[in-house]
Amino acid sequence: MSRRIRSGTLSIHRTGRHNITNKALRFVVIGSGMAGILAGMRLREAGYDKVTILEKTSAVGGTWRENRYPGLYCDVPAHAYTYSFAPNPNWSSYLAPGPEIRRYFEDVARRYGLYDIIRFGEEIAHCSFDNARWTVVSKTGAKYEADVVVAATGVLHHPRMPDIAGLGTFAGPCFHSARWPDGIQLDGKRVGIIGNGSTGVQLVSALAGHAHRVTHFQRSPQWIMPVENRPYTDEERRAFRADPALVEAIRFDKTYLGNVQRFTEAISDPASPQMAMIEAICQEHLEKSIADPTLRERLRPTYRAACKRLVFSPDYFKMVQRPDVEVVTMRIRQIEPQGVRTIDGVAYPLDVLILATGFHADRFMRPIGIYGRGGVRLEDVWAKRPHAYLAISMPEFPNLFMLNGPGGPVGNFSLIDIAERQWGYISQLLALIDRGECRAICPSHETLAAYEKRRIIAARRTIFGSGCSSWYLDAEGVPNTWPWSYDAFAEQMAKPDLTAFERIA
Ligand code: NAP
């Protein structure tokens, strides 16, 4: 059953439940980030009591546990980046800082009793399907049997180290943005940052004025979408606590939802007026914000706005015009013990070097070895590109369901909402197993082949395929994304087409 709220043309999914009859079903959820907490909570809420969440580290929170760099915040409004079942009237600001989001997930896990079912320090080595059940083996040697496995392993969690000569020779601290060292002191230091995606840009904003000097190495310019952030006052938070409708008004705010709607329509149709509007906003932001015409041209991308994941920032352009911040657009030749040298021979002396160089976004649940029916290896199935029917399930891997899997929706909107909708879909498949209509279920080969054919054709036409490099692209340059509108996604998730699936008795 699902309840939907309509606001403008964008529908927001609320829940996905079924009445259970088979409490004996065993579930293993891999990962205790946003999606794993969601799956664990929904399964417990449905009444299943054989649910285990396996977490490789010692804490919940996924990407919000891994990323601890200064200036980290979520560019989705906090009240929209919140589970529908756990609104948070206490958010400190319109866009919440990373540590607060992490505490939110810890709090939800605690409130829903999930710490009782999470096994920490359990990194999965392999999972295999045989005789209609999964055997999951961790690196500690522990073995878990499950009827259903939910892979909630996230997308951006394997840091990509840059392939730059001399990387290992730097004399000072040098680390990836998602491997922030405890206690590192940057005040008064000469800090270099390589990479200007969302992470690098947030880092520059946070460190400017604290570091002695920030040198930002930019390989390709980024379009920057201006965004406003502001703290909520104590009085506002009191009001949120007293009246949940005030929180809902922000979550379902027409302007925000209109922007999400416009963005998803623009992505799928680069010739649309919606895309023209996004481009105009980014262009105007660049023209009006950067006073020096030379710097402006160095910051001007040659590809279309939103081709790479749009960077949202309230103040990056302001920061790069400070006298203690420099954007270096000359290519890096090498890293040396004392700093970075560009191909024109100029040396940039540094005390600390931060690599905001992104992630291997094609790994998903790998390196876990996943063996489906008849021993088929996921690694082989995904040799060309990771792919899954509606980003959720695959032939030969029955009862293995992914949240935020390959080809799933991406964009600048709440992945929590996406995962909740995906869960609504998965729960309807679980209902079949629960009622004993089958022991296991997976899409047919024909279903996935036809779906992928359609998806790839549409993906090439999206703005992500319009001619730039980005983590959205697979090894063949095809965007590994949901290529249709948000409404089309919501429609698909509302009710599975059961003819697409093979049921295993
Ligand atoms: P990213 O967007 O993949 O950016 C990586 C950056 O590193 C790019 O600027 C890239 O340059 C540069 N780079 C990589 N290798 C390089 C090399 N060898 N030499 C020079 N430059 C190199 O990674 P990210 O900034 O960590 O962001 C990843 C994603 O995380 C975002 O797109 C977003 O989805 C998510 N995120 C979200 C938020 C949020 O507020 N919600 C915050 C942070 C991150 P090129 O462009 O030239 O390749």
Whether 97 and 112 have beta carbons less than 8 Å apart is answered as: no
pLDDT of 103 over the 90 cut: yes
In the block, tokens 């021993």 appear at 375
Q: Quick check: helix, strand or coil at residue 248? A: helix
Tell me what pLDDT residue 409 has: 78
Q: What is the mean pLDDT of residues 233-238?
A: 98
pLDDT of 82 over the 50 cut: yes
Predicted confidence band at 18 (pLDDT cuts at 50, 70, 90)?
low
Q: How far is the CA of 472 from the centre of ligand 1 (A)?
A: 11
Per-residue pLDDT tens for 271-291?
Answer: 999 999 999 999 999 999 999
Q: Provide the token pair at 77.
A: 């409004």
Whether 302 and 331 have beta carbons less than 8 Å apart is answered as: no
The mean predicted confidence, pLDDT, of the chain is 94
Predicted confidence band at 10 (pLDDT cuts at 50, 70, 90)?
very low
Tell me what pLDDT residue 24 has: 86
Task: List the 118-120 sheet strands across, edge first.
Answer: 118-120, 51-55, 27-30, 148-151, 400-402
Q: How far is the CA of 23 from the centre of ligand 1 (A)?
A: 44
Tell me what pLDDT residue 114 has: 98
Q: What is the mean pLDDT of residues 345-352?
A: 98
Q: Give CB contacts under 8 A, 24+ apart, made by 417-421.
A: 417/12, 417/13, 417/80, 417/84, 418/489, 419/34, 419/35, 419/38, 419/152, 420/13, 420/14, 420/15, 420/16, 420/38, 420/83, 420/84, 421/13, 421/16, 421/489, 421/490, 421/493
- Residues 6 or more apart whose CB falls under 8 angstroms from that of 314 comprise 205, 226, 227, 228, 229
pLDDT of 248 over the 90 cut: yes
Question: What spatial distance separates the first Cα and last Cα of the chain, rounded to whole Å?
Answer: 25
pLDDT of 6 over the 60 cut: no
Predicted confidence band at 262 (pLDDT cuts at 50, 70, 90)?
confident
Which uninterrupted H or E stretch holds 427?
helix 415-434
Q: Which amino acid is at 275?
A: M
Lining residues, ligand 1, CB within 6 Å: 73-75, 156, 162-164, 194-200, 202, 219-220, 309, 332, 356-358, 469, 471
Per-residue buried b or exposed e for 185-201, using 16+ beta carbons within 10 Å of the residue's own CB: ebeebbbbbbbbbbbbb
Tell me what pLDDT residue 112 has: 97
- Distance separating alpha carbons of residues 406 and 411, to the nearest angstrom: 14
Per-residue pLDDT tens for 19-78?
Answer: 677 778 999 999 999 999 999 999 999 999 999 999 999 999 999 999 999 999 999 999
- Distance separating alpha carbons of residues 451 and 88, to the nearest angstrom: 38
Is 20 buried (19+), middle (13-18) or exposed (0-12) by CB count in 10 A?
middle
Tell me what pLDDT residue 148 has: 98
Q: What is the mean pLDDT of residues 380-400?
A: 97
In the block, tokens 């996905």 appear at 16
Task: Detail the DSSP E strand segments found in 154-273.
Answer: 174-176, 190-194, 213-217, 224-226
Give the position, in ligand 1's atom list, of the atom nearest the Cα of 163. Answer: 18
Under DSSP, the state recorded for 13 is E
- Distance separating alpha carbons of residues 43 and 194, to the nearest angstrom: 42
Q: How far is the CA of 110 from the centre of ligand 1 (A)?
A: 32
Q: How far is the CA of 470 from the centre of ligand 1 (A)?
A: 8
Predicted confidence band at 334 (pLDDT cuts at 50, 70, 90)?
very high
pLDDT of 11 over the 70 cut: no
Alpha helices in 83-176 (DSSP H): 98-111
- Distance separating alpha carbons of residues 335 and 357, to the nearest angstrom: 15
Q: What is the mean pLDDT of residues 144-160?
A: 97
Q: What is this structure's pTM? A: 0.95
Give the position, in ligand 1's atom list, of the atom nearest the Cα of 164. Answer: 18
pLDDT of 4 over the 50 cut: no
Whether 472 and 307 have beta carbons less than 8 Å apart is answered as: no
Tell me what pLDDT residue 22 has: 78
Per-residue pLDDT tens for 165-176?
Answer: 999 999 999 999
Whether 193 and 246 have beta carbons less than 8 Å apart is answered as: no
CA-nearest of 480, 368, 493 to 56 is: 368
